Amino acid sequence: MASDLCFSRASPPKLNPLFEARNFKIRSILTRIADHFHSTNQFVLRLILGCLCIISTFGCLRAQDEAVTNSHYTNLIELRHDNDFPVFTDRYYTTGNFVGWRKLLRQGNDSTDQIQYRLYLIQQLYTPADIIETDIRRFDRPFAGFLGFANGITYANARRLIDIKVELGLSGPPSGGAFIQEAFHSAPAVSSRIPTWLGQIKTAALGNIYGRYTREWQWQPNPFSVHFAVTPELAFGNRDIYAQQEAAFYFGRRNPLQTTSAYQQLGSLQNEYFFVVRLAYRYILHDAFQEGDLIGDSSQFLIQPYPNMLIYKFEMNGRIKRYNFMVAYNYATEKNRRTFAHLYVTFSIAKTF
């Protein structure tokens, strides 16, 4: 405008033709941009309004989810089953049945531990590789069964979890191992290979205490979080004596340590979907299901276990509101000089109430 006022009463200066052509081209480009913006103005406005609607909708859903998360339940019941049938074997640790109840005793926060109690009924079956062999001298491990219960308590804060468990039960015929496996193999749809259960580990009262300490670090937040944890464990009793060191990697959408289904912790209903890779080394001093009772055993067949064992686990976990799901593949190296490495699968479903 200043230029127009300056030359309003004088003839305009002559400009270079090349400059005029370039100026005209720039004005044409600016005009087309303005026309394009004017034609798309309504579309941009609709797009902004649509984004605002979507954001507000997700905000409402998240608020509802947080409301459900904060209204937690304090009890959980779990059904878990271990079996090597899905990987087409029937040997060593072949079956495990667990029915458990967990109770949230105290909700944790930043300054106090979350305390949780659990009680489980347990039945476990161990067999040699050839379950129909009648010559005990050719066994690679003895038949063994266990029936008992476990009491445990956990103390968890934002970074660590302490787990103490006491397990009591009976081995031998009172465990019902022979009855369960014979009944399963007698079914026409399964097979006709009825296990002999010759020379199984004799009846004994077994008791053990287990202590675990887990320290966890979060490397990446949700929605695809990465956690790393180390867990040393000690076991002592006349069933097991060992020391174990485990490292675990968690990948996926997962809650904090105090409320995640990775440790079967209560206090949240927020959905989770993650998988776990576990690696562990166990140094074994005693295994009652191979070498008998620690204080003496007169079973027909016993064998000395290897002192070293490596364990690998791959788990897929999920929580949908009040339900927890878990499927795991468990691999362990050979346990004595006659056996081979073993693989079995774990299925678990739990519900809070």
The β-bridge partners of 261 are: none
**Alpha-carbon gap, residue 5 to 143, rounded angstroms:** 108
What digits encode the pLDDT tens for the residues 192-206? 678 999 999 999 999
Q: Pick from 220, 295, 217: which is nearest to 257 by CA?
A: 217
Residue 318 in domain: yes
Q: What is the mean pLDDT of residues 62-74?
A: 55
Residue 214 is part of which domain span? 72-352
Residue 38 in domain: no
Residue 30 in domain: no
Tell how strand 240-253 and strand 323-332 pair up: unpaired
Residue 26 in domain: no
The confidence band for 110, taking pLDDT boundaries of 50, 70 and 90, is confident
**Alpha-carbon gap, residue 160 to 194, rounded angstroms:** 46
Q: How many domains does the chain have?
A: 1
Q: Where is average pLDDT lowest: 85-94, 135-144, 190-199?
A: 190-199
Residue 267 in domain: yes
Residue 19 in domain: no
User: Given a cut of 60, is residue 51 above it in pLDDT?
Assistant: no
Tokens describing residue 3? 């230029």
pLDDT at 294: 86
pLDDT at 184: 81
The confidence band for 223, taking pLDDT boundaries of 50, 70 and 90, is very high
pLDDT at 40: 41
pLDDT at 235: 98
Residue 20 in domain: no
**Alpha-carbon gap, residue 327 to 318, rounded angstroms:** 9
Q: What is the mean pLDDT of the chain?
A: 85
pLDDT at 59: 43
pLDDT at 186: 78
- On whether the CB atoms of residues 206 and 245 are closer than 8 A, the answer is no
Residue 196 in domain: yes
What digits encode the pLDDT tens for the residues 294-344? 888 889 999 999 999 999 999 999 999 999 999 999 999 999 999 999 999
3-state secondary structure the chain: CHHHHHCCCCCCCCCCHHHHHHHHHHHHHHHHHHHHHHHHHHHHHHHHHHHHHHHHHHHHHHHHHHHHHHCCCCEEEEEEEEECHHHCCCCEEEEEEEEEEEEEEECCCCCCCEEEEEEEEEEEEEECCCCCCCCHHHCCCCCEEEEEEEEEEEEECCCEEEEEEEEEEEECHHHCHHHHHHHHHHCCCCCCCCCCCCCCCCCEEEEEEEEEEEEEEEEECCCCEEEEEEEEEEEEECCEEEEEEEEEEEEEECCCCCCCHHHCCCCCCCCEEEEEEEEEEEEEEEEHHHHCCCCCCCCCCCCCCCCEEEEEEEEEEEEECCEEEEEEEEEECCCCCCCCCEEEEEEEEEEEC
Tell how strand 144-156 and strand 204-220 pair up: unpaired
**CATH code for position 341:** 2.40.128.140
